[in-house]
Amino acid sequence: MITRKLVYVMSLEELRQNIRRLCIEIREYDESKKPIIKIPEGATGSAAGLPFESWFKNEMSGRMTKYKVFGRIEFIKYVIQNFLKNRGLDELHEITWWARLQQFSAENVRRIQIGEEPKLQQALGDIVIKYGDDLNDIVLINVKATEVSDGKPVGRPPNIVSAFRLLEFFLEIFEEKPHLADKVNTWLVGFYYNPIGNGRVRIVNCHFINMFKLDLEKAPEINFDAAIQIQWHVGDMIEREDQTLEMFAQKLADKYWTEWKAFTKRRDEKLEGIIQSLMSAIKKARTQKRVSNFYYAR
């Protein structure tokens, strides 16, 4: 058991070091050696991020040949072939920490089986790496791509994850699967790029973050108007190395509750003001109408 635990820790550390090394290489390369990515014409949002995910997956596959590296759809196909072929979807959810986060639903499995495109836009891991023999030896990696000008991000921070969805996930883990808490690993890789023309961009910087080490006290407010998203530029993120999964979950719950109460208070006050103004306007309009009718009748 001790040997297995040691191998598990060493495997994760090897993964971390390889991603860190990739980011360092991108930062330190002279411009002629920095990676160039082609973004399809008209691609926006998540579609514009797909070429970065594909490039990163290929890089990790080449560097980590002893581990399995998957895209989102590839991972579902792998699980169908190696687990769901003989066992049920409910069991998969019961014994893994990642099934909910990767949207392993009956509908998505059915779509894959009949050759249709599954709906995986909310899957937390764009890239999935299996680093051991256990079904829970999994790392989910969320890839973000951000245009920069003079080294600074252009536009609003990207959506990272729904804070509410994370709260549901943590409830499932700590209520039903506390023995799997140590297996939970979700990382962020942020690529910063400059457009160079003809739909091509050059990756000029790379940031690597452990999502559940994030210092939420330094994070922007949760955007309750935008699907309750945590929005944050990866390059601006700050980690707390001493933070456990339990600490992160607690801080997220505290942050969510505090900011939700402030948000609903502001919203209620705004709504109250609108309603009061509307009632006043209606009353005024009725008065003006009666006066107008009076003079018209004369």
Q: Give the start-to-end residue ranges of the domains of the chain.
A: 2-261
Q: Reduced to 3 states, what is the DSSP secondary structure of residue 173?
A: helix
Residues 102, 78: Cα–Cα separation, whole Å: 13
Q: What pLDDT digit, counting tens, does each position of 172-193 carry?
A: 999 999 999 999 999 999 999 9
Span 219-229, mean pLDDT? 95
d(CA 140, CA 183): 11
How far is residue 106's CA from residue 108's CA, in Å, rounded to a whole number? 6
SS3 130: strand
Share of the chain above pLDDT 70, in %: 94
Question: Which pLDDT does position 86 carry in this prediction?
Answer: 87
Name the pLDDT band for 63 (thresholds 50, 70, 90).
confident
CA distances from 119 to 105, 154, 156 (A): 10, 29, 25
CA end-to-end distance (rounded Å), the chain = 99
Confidence tier at 47 by pLDDT (50, 70, 90): confident
What's the CA angle centered on 171, arms 168 and 176, to 5 degrees?
A: 130
pLDDT of res. 251: 98
φ/ψ (deg, to 5) at 62: -75, -35
Q: Which CATH superfamily is domain 2-261 in?
A: DNA mismatch repair MutH/Restriction endonuclease, type II (3.40.600.10)
Residue 8: its pLDDT value, please? 53
Instruction: Give the Cα separation of 193 and 147 in Å (integer).
Output: 5
Residue 252: what pLDDT?
98
Cα four-point dihedral sign 217, 219, 220, 221: negative
Using alpha carbons, select from 109, 207, 214, 134 the residue that is nearest to residue 166.
214
Considering the entire predicted model, what is its pTM?
Answer: 0.89
